[in-house]
């Protein structure tokens, strides 16, 4: 990891993609590459499938405890990433909460929501857990504790549903026959929810491009992590984040 990150810092490499330990990668990346001006902490940003397409969620485990200002920074970074890669001028940003009403949530989340309203981002308000997959927002921010629990719960649910389908279709001759008939639909369903297609979480906020691949990634999955890193480089995400943070600082200081 250190060798790869040193190559990024020296400019010999445009990005680092690693399937190693997440904590070690985050710590070494922060030590070697340092943070972008105006960003206090790096955040892990990953893509999840939704009924509307997909959503970028951050943070997914780098920061267990966050201040409202950190969550605003996550919103800026996530919005900049989506704007650059998907060429959307003002992607929608939401904050993960236990209800859609403004009075819901703890003090940190409510204060962060107030700051996001004043941030100039396309803030659409609170997003509940089910709203992640309904596509209520294109970027959803949360602290790393909540984000990691939501991610792992989602992965567990997907594995459980796949196991249930396999059990039911293999129950007897008729269900096996039904499985053969339904095979084209099942294959399309699998392709839409295949976690390998979404492999590669960006470590945003650093002075360099770093993408974390799942440790158990196969060749197909790791290829998507490489593609994510390449897209981030091609679309100059670092400069876009730095520019947006610079624009944001006068607003935060005035507040």
What confidence tens digit (pLDDT) does each residue in 47-73 have? 999 998 899 999 998 888 999 999 999
Report phi then psi at 200, rounded to 5. 110, 100
User: What is each CA distance from 112 to 66, 70, 72, in whole angstroms?
Assistant: 10, 8, 6
What confidence tens digit (pLDDT) does each residue in 28-38 have? 999 999 999 98
Give the list of residues 6+ apart from residue 196 with CB closer than 8 angstroms, or none.
217, 218, 220, 221, 224
Answer whether 0.85 is exceeded by the pTM.
Answer: yes
How many Å apart are CA 223 and CA 225, to the nearest integer? 5
- For 65, which DSSP code? S
The DSSP bridge partners found for residue 94 are 125, 140
Give the list of residues 6+ apart from residue 212 with CB closer than 8 angstroms, or none.
18, 19, 22, 25, 44, 200, 201, 202, 203, 225
What confidence tens digit (pLDDT) does each residue in 153-194 have? 988 888 898 899 989 999 999 999 999 999 999 888 888 878
What confidence tens digit (pLDDT) does each residue in 126-142 have? 999 999 999 999 999 99
How many Å apart are CA 28 and CA 130, to the nearest integer? 35
What confidence tens digit (pLDDT) does each residue in 85-142 have? 988 889 999 999 999 898 999 999 999 999 999 988 999 999 999 999 999 999 999 9
pLDDT of residue 254: 47
Give the list of residues 6+ apart from residue 9 with CB closer than 8 angstroms, or none.
32, 33, 207, 208
Q: Is the dihedral of CA 189, 19, 70, 65 positive or negative?
A: positive
What confidence tens digit (pLDDT) does each residue in 18-28 have? 999 988 999 99
Whose tokens are 């962060």? That residue is 112
| C-beta of residue 197 within 8 angstroms of C-beta of residue 16 | no
How many Å apart are CA 11 and CA 30, to the nearest integer? 16
Domains, the chain, with CATH or none: 38-203+219-254 (3.40.718.10)
Residue 44 has pLDDT above 50, yes or no: yes
* Continuous H helices in the chain: 2-10, 22-33, 68-86, 107-117, 129-134, 144-169, 173-181, 183-193, 219-234, 237-254
């Amino acid at each position: 990891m250190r060798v790869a990150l040193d190559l990024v810092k020296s400019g010999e490499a445009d990005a680092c993609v690693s399937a190693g330990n997440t904590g070690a990668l985050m710590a070494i990346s922060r030590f070697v590459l340092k943070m972008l001006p105006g960003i206090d902490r790096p955040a892990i940003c990953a893509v999840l499938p939704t009924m509307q397409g997909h959503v970028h969620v951050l943070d997914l485990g780098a920061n267990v405890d966050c201040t409202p200002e950190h969550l605003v920074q996550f919103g800026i970074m996530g919005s900049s990433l989506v704007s650059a890669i998907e060429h959307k001028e003002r992607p929608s940003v939401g904050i993960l909460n236990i209800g859609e009403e403004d009075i819901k949530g703890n003090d940190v989340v409510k204060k962060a929501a107030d700051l996001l309203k004043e941030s100039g981002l396309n803030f659409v308000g609170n997003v509940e857990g089910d709203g992640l997959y309904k596509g209520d927002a294109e970027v959803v921010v949360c602290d790393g504790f909540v984000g990691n629990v939501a991610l792992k719960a989602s992965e567990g649910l997907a594995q459980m549903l796949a196991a249930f389908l396999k059990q039911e279709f293999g129950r007897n001759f008729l269900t096996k026959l039904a499985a053969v008939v339904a095979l084209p639909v099942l294959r399309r369903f699998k392709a839409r929810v295949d976690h390998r297609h979404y492999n590669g979480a960006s470590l945003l906020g650093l002075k360099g491009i770093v993408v974390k691949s799942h440790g158990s990634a196969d060749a197909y999955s790791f290829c998507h992590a490489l593609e994510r890193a390449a897209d981030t480089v091609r679309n100059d995400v670092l400069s876009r984040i730095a520019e947006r943070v610079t624009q944001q600082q006068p607003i935060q200081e005035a507040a």
